């Protein structure tokens, strides 16, 4: 998978850019939130510590190609967005994932970011399909994907356990 696009991306309400060392404090401030964590996979730490931020920032500096980006609002890293490229027969597909600090919810920021990032991903990588699997407990993320042009494809019944609760996932995708 080879990245060809240009950054930063101006999504109007936010900027999608590379993570920077100076993002550490804002990353911890916005990521260390139980309500954010409840909507994400367990690989996203909670509580989110400065050591977690250091680990993440070191990880993204080593990515080749870069597939994980900061969402900046008013110059501050307020969340993240990225792609998980798939392998083998799924090699022209990627999963999109994203999160945004609670202070920035309900402002249209994530919809703008997902829309702009999806265009960037199709322009920059040899993809046919981008998909997301959203916890059934997260209707706001489903609305984001729908507004960004993704189609609801189905429900993966009882497919995840988050915080001790068995949940469905709702599968969304967009194709080239």
The rounded distance, in Å, linking the Cα atoms of 111 and 35 is 19
Centre a 10 Å sphere on the Cβ of residue 69 and count the other Cβ atoms it contains: 26
Q: Is residue 100 in a domain?
A: yes
Residue 4 has pLDDT above 70, yes or no: no
Q: What is the pTM of this model?
A: 0.94
Instruction: Check if the beta carbon of residue 83 is closer than 8 Å to that of residue 67.
Output: yes
CATH number of the domain at 58, please.
3.40.630.30
Q: Which segments within 113-163 are labelled E, that is strand?
A: 129-135, 151-162
Q: Is residue 147 in a domain?
A: no
Q: Is residue 64 in a domain?
A: yes
Q: Which domain holds residue 59?
A: 9-127
How high is the pLDDT of residue 5?
Answer: 56
Work out the mean pLDDT of the chain and round it to a whole number.
96
The rounded distance, in Å, linking the Cα atoms of 84 and 107 is 26
119-138 per-position pLDDT tens digit: 999 999 999 999 999 999 99
82-126 per-position pLDDT tens digit: 999 999 999 999 999 999 999 999 999 999 999 999 999 999 999
**Domain count of the chain?**
1
In sequence order, what DSSP letters do the residues of 68-91 get, joined into one string?
EEEEEETTEEEEEEEEEE--GGGT
Q: Is residue 159 in a domain?
A: no
Q: Is residue 133 in a domain?
A: no
Confidence of residue 1 (pLDDT cuts 50, 70, 90): very low
Q: What DSSP state is assigned to residue 4? A: -
The rounded distance, in Å, linking the Cα atoms of 136 and 156 is 10
Q: Is residue 166 in a domain?
A: no
55-75 per-position pLDDT tens digit: 999 999 999 999 999 999 999
Strands 165-175, 93-100: pairing is unpaired
The rounded distance, in Å, linking the Cα atoms of 76 and 70 is 9
Q: Is residue 132 in a domain?
A: no
The rounded distance, in Å, linking the Cα atoms of 104 and 28 is 15
Q: Is residue 81 in a domain?
A: yes
């Amino acid at each position: 998978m080879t990245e060809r696009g240009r950054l930063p991306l101006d999504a109007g309400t936010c900027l999608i850019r590379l993570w920077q060392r100076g993002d550490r404090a804002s990353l911890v401030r916005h990521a260390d939130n139980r309500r954010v964590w409840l909507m994400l996979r367990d690989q996203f730490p909670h509580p989110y510590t400065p050591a977690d931020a250091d680990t993440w920032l070191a990880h993204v500096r080593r990515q080749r190609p870069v597939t994980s980006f900061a969402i900046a609002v008013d110059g501050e890293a307020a969340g993240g967005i990225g792609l998980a490229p798939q392998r083998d027969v799924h090699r022209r597909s990627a999963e999109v994932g994203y999160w945004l600090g609670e202070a920035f919810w309900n402002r249209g920021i994530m919809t703008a970011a997902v829309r702009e990032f999806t265009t960037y991903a199709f322009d920059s990588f040899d993809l046919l399909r981008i998909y997301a699997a959203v916890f059934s407990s997260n209707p706001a993320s489903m609305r984001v994907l729908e507004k960004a042009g993704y189609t609801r494809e189905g429900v993966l019944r009882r497919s995840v356990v988050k915080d001790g609760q068995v949940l469905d996932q709702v599968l969304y995708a967009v194709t080239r």
